[in-house]
Amino acid sequence: MQIASVGTASNGTPTNNTTDVSYTPNTDYCGLDSFTYTLNGGSSATVDLTVACSPVFTSADNTSFDFGFPGSFNVTAVGNPSTMTITLTGAPAGISLTDNGDGTATLDGDGTTPVGVYPLILTANNGVPPNGIQNFTLTVRNGPHRHQHQLHPRYRQRRRQREREHPQHPRHHPVHRHLQHRCLRSRRGQRRR
């Protein structure tokens, strides 16, 4: 039985090869499509198909964090299927990636990574080759001055514990912190004069 005719598709081009039909999706299209065909005997049928696409990163290929302060950056990628795994290689100490499994991930910095420029590689895999690859550049800048011991997790833990145990202590009151900040700015202004 030969194919007499083939209908059109919304997102691609079906071609009648007499004994079968080939299909070419539109450029960059990923998703569902369909078309109908009719045999010489008069019977017809509908073909439903899914166009699979390998992952492509859509987020920027660079970001900057400040030394001494936590930072984060949202990573995004698209493909079909949209369920995928995003991984990170080349990360220095203090940098990590949390993958959400849906084409999104978060690049996190805990503030302890030394100042510098770090070349990283992001990889997205949804089972359709080839994997999406992005050469990513992370820049860690000199942030506002902060004493080195204040970056240590134990310091932050002890400080939070003191605030829980002595919530009424003037040092832990928001007004005290505000005035302390204003005094510090005032002293800096006097030094400039």
Instruction: State the Cα angle at 57 between 52 and 59, rounded to 5°.
Output: 145
Asked if residue 29 lies in contact with residue 12, where contact means CB atoms within 8 angstroms, the answer is: yes
Q: What is the CATH number of the domain that holds 86?
A: 2.60.40.10
Q: Which two tokens stand for residue 42?
A: 């008069």
| Domain-located, residue 59 | yes
Number of neighbouring beta carbons within 10 Å of residue 60: 13
Q: Which domain holds residue 109?
A: 55-141
In order of 34, 54, 59, 153, the CA distances from 79 in angstroms are 19, 5, 13, 39
What's this model's pTM, rounded to 2 decimal places?
0.67
Residue 144 is predicted with a pLDDT of: 78
Residue 102 is predicted with a pLDDT of: 98
Same-domain pairing of 63 and 76: yes
Residue 150 is predicted with a pLDDT of: 52
Same-domain pairing of 62 and 46: no
Residue 172 is predicted with a pLDDT of: 47
Query: Which DSSP state fits 53?
Result: E
Same-domain pairing of 35 and 70: no
Residue 154 is predicted with a pLDDT of: 65
Residue 182 is predicted with a pLDDT of: 52
Tally the C-alpha atoms within 13 A of residue 193's C-alpha that lie toward its C-beta: 6
Same-domain pairing of 69 and 94: yes
| Domain-located, residue 191 | no
Q: Which residues of the chain have pLDDT under 70?
A: 145-156, 158-160, 163, 166-193
